[in-house]
Amino acid sequence: MRAKGAGMSGGEPQSYNFYLHSVFLLLLCLFTSYCSSSSYIKSSVIAQRKHALLPEISPSEAPQPLLPLLAPSPFSPFTNSSIPKLSGVCILNFAAVESMMRMTSIDCVGGFAPYLANVICCPQVDATLTVLVGQSSKDTNMLALNGTLAEPCLSDFEEILVGQGANDSLPRICSIHPSNLTEGSCPVGDVNAFESTVDSSSLLAACGKIDTVNECCKQVCQNAIAEAAGKLAVKTYDLMSIGGSHALADHSTRINDCRTIVLRWLASKLDPSHAKEVLRGLSNCKINKVCPLVFPNMSHVIKSCGSELHDQRACCKSVESYVSHLQNQSFVTNLQALNCAASLGLKLQKANITKNIYNLCRVSLKDFSVQVTPQGVESGCLLPSLPSDAVFDSSTGLSFLCDLNDNIPAPWPAPSQLPASSCNKTVKIPALPAAASGQSRICSADQASHALFVVLAIFALLMKI
């Protein structure tokens, strides 16, 4: 059974899917009642428009690092057992990134991919593509593919990932296009031209190993990459030949495209696992600067919580309803949650809501992320602000690390507040889990293996009816 991404629409299929989900929920209830509720983390369901298996936490224990369940053995390994249909013309060396491809399939597995897209899945996809082209340049001497090869190579890349269990909508989820494998507008695409233009030894010294904690603030590697990309962008290129704002826009595009070439060259000089660490560390600097959530129309909140607040209960009810829509979108990191709280707060302030409704309605940072349901009490799952991956274990299935150890109130922003940053020492960032050692268990290995296997097997049969 291939898990589809979230969000289904349409008449009869929608009704049928609703029936299937209802049956699935019933089966899950049987499963959770079968497992012990006092000693282990259990699975639950986000039963709204999107469905994902998430855990509950025993009330007798302090909150532990969250390890959500997707499916335990005997469904291991995570694969739909399909044989990828490859083009036969791609020149990329997929064997060089075999381990990274497996990790990418886990990070982007089935129905979890849309929820993990902005923090885990898509950054891992981007890093894997970069390392794939970089490592292949050892044979091809090219840091980019031409348009003719880019399309079949990207197709092969997707086929391999889907064959290993990844979501089959990754091109849409992560905005992947054949152009991601070309040089774009960068005038340099081969290794010799690159190394004759850039101070490669200085670049490798700055980026051969990065401090993932401090790189986002000190920007040692980022500055070296920007300098190298700038040198590539002006090669055989005359800014003065193009006038006005178009010249600046065109140059900015070239810089971005050349930055990709620089990253591929770096990936060719490091072993794949080391290159991944560097690339994911750099991407996280960008990820944590923004709020990935889309804020829908907030007229109902504005009406209920206007400057002349008369009914606090009605205000908080509208805020709760609004935030619940945000919780259907994506897992976010600690820092992203701070940025989302600030973004929403500033939008409300511009609508003349001056009262601190976060404090009034007890809105916390976790309210901006996907919710889990420990013993019937919803709590948000904030992902770590440092790079992380999902983890596959043969006994417990798929898991990823969440932070459920803090319950920090969402700060009501000052009118001129800057985006949250780990470089700002005055910002209180939710702590990472204290014991992410994988000691948590989902029921017992035997119970989970047999009980949930039956649940999912029945559901798989229903899907075929």
Burial of 387 (0-12, 13-18, 19+ CB in 10 A): buried
Q: Are 35 and 448 in contact (CB under 8 A)?
A: yes
**Would you state the pLDDT for residue 41?**
26
**Would you state the pLDDT for residue 387?**
92
**Would you state the pLDDT for residue 250?**
82
Block means of pLDDT (10 residues each) for the chain, length 465 residues? 36 46 45 34 28 32 40 38 83 96 95 93 98 97 96 96 94 95 94 96 96 93 97 72 51 93 98 97 94 94 85 94 94 94 94 92 93 65 90 78 77 76 59 36 33 39 44
Interatomic CA distance for residues 293 and 195, integer angstroms = 40
DSSP codes, 349-399: HHTT--S-HHHHTT-BGGGGS-EE-GGG--EE-EEPSS----EEETTTEEE
Would you state the structure tokens that stand for residue 148, as one six-digit string?
């003719």
Interatomic CA distance for residues 450 and 319, integer angstroms = 42
The β-bridge relationship of strands 397-399 and 391-393 is antiparallel
Q: Are 32 and 373 in contact (CB under 8 A)?
A: no
The Cα-based distances of 201 to 73, 196, 266, 269 in angstroms read 47, 11, 11, 11
Q: Cis before residue 415, ω within 30 degrees of 0? A: no
**Would you state the pLDDT for residue 428?**
52
Is 142 in a helix, a strand, or coil? Answer: strand
Is 113 in a helix, a strand, or coil? Answer: helix
**Would you state the pLDDT for residue 380?**
79
Q: Are 129 and 157 in contact (CB under 8 A)?
A: yes
Give the start-to-end residue ranges of the domains of the chain: 94-235+247-288, 298-423
